[in-house]
Amino acid sequence: MKTAAVKATAAVRGHDAHTTPSQLEKVRGDGFSSGDSDKKTTDSEARLLPQRPKTPPNRGAFESVARDGLQTNRHWRLSDFDIGRILGKGKFGRAYLAREKGTNYICALKVLFKSELQESKIEKQLKREVEIQTHLRHSHILRLYGYFHDGKRIYLILEYAARGEMYKLLQKQRSFGEPEAAKYIAQMATALEYLHSKNVIHRDIKPENLLINANGDLKIADFGWSVYARNSRRRTLCGTLDYLPPEMVEGRDHDASVDLWSLGVLMYEFLVGVPPFEDLQSHKATYRRIARVDLHIPPYVSSDAADLISKLLQYNGSKRLPLGDVLRHPWILRHVLDPRAI
């Protein structure tokens, strides 16, 4: 079980949430609700996939949406969507499968409760998350198409990743084979390279914050701890303990190289099934192992994979392997034909 240094984020995770409006609990026979439906959700209905509408929308509009996603410059409201099954529950709300009525485009609708955000004092964090994620355009970063709100709730309109959390997939498989892990690490590296080119540091890379789409491709999600950091260093302690770099656990300034460390931890966990510095005795023991870079790579991990992990998990951030070199590393090239096109 992962140990969290800080868990106060606006992401929907596996915790209970308060009751949502009745509209969000109503589902038609195709797994979606509309504002005027009075039919209650049943387990069997919630599992149904959306059906093709009898009268399709404008074909040109649909093709544009399929290519580019939903419009990001329009004013949205709840009545624009049919609401389907729950995708996840979190401390501050729930995420639902949704369908935009005008185009029948499938998306995810994250519903957050203002009272919970205010009590946890993370309104500014959510605002920053929305500001950052709305402007990102990369094939391995989850799109945020827009948001709207009412008196009690904030609604985020997100790209739908059909296969769900990377963490659940990793739990199911226990670990990944090297070809599969290399694909995901290459996709992560291209996405992080893009983020850093935009002066964005994610700061909370971990399996729980990664999603898998219908094609099996990785999507970075949950930008709750991300920041713009143009030519500056940060000091905030944030993220999840198992993935924190030495400079964070020691209270020193940090920069974009924290994401390189997290990439190394992620690669290790993909191949071994547990984070490299996890110590079940206590949080302090984990802190000590991170600060000492007490790294032990099992012998069944290939030498090239071990080399890449070791070059990312360097105590000094400036010595961590740059993302461009990650994509050119022999371990990546052995398993991925064209890392930048994957």
Q: 222: annotated binding-site residue?
A: yes
Please give the Cα distance from 275 to 269 (Å, whole number).
5
Average pLDDT on 65-71 reads 58
Task: Report which secondary-structure segment, H or E, holds 247.
Answer: helix 246-249
Domains detected in the chain: 22-158 (3.30.200.20), 164-335 (1.10.510.10)
Residue 204 among the catalytic residues: yes
Can you give the length of the chain in residues? Answer: 342
Q: 208: annotated binding-site residue?
A: yes
Q: Which of 82, 204, 242, 259 is catalytic?
A: 204
CA 140 to each of CA 28, 38, 283, 308: distance values in angstroms, whole numbers, following the listed order: 32, 38, 32, 21
Q: What is the Cβ-side half-sphere exposure of residue 102, based on CA atoms within 13 angstroms?
A: 14
> What is the structure's pLDDT at 69?
63
Please give the Cα distance from 218 to 159 (Å, whole number).
12
> What is the structure's pLDDT at 8?
33
Average pLDDT on 105-127 reads 93
For 135-171, write each residue's pLDDT tens digit: 999 999 999 999 999 999 999 999 999 999 999 999 9
> What is the structure's pLDDT at 41?
33
Q: 209: annotated binding-site residue?
A: yes
3-class secondary-structure state, position 156: strand
Q: 269: annotated binding-site residue?
A: no
Structure tokens at 316: 């000094």
- What confidence category does residue 33 fall into, taking pLDDT thresholds of 50, 70 and 90? low
Q: 219: annotated binding-site residue?
A: no
For 166-216, write each residue's pLDDT tens digit: 999 999 999 999 999 999 999 999 999 999 999 999 999 999 999 999 999
Report pTM.
0.79
Residue 182 gets which letter from DSSP?
Answer: H
For 276-326, write each residue's pLDDT tens digit: 999 999 999 999 999 999 999 999 999 999 999 999 999 999 999 999 999
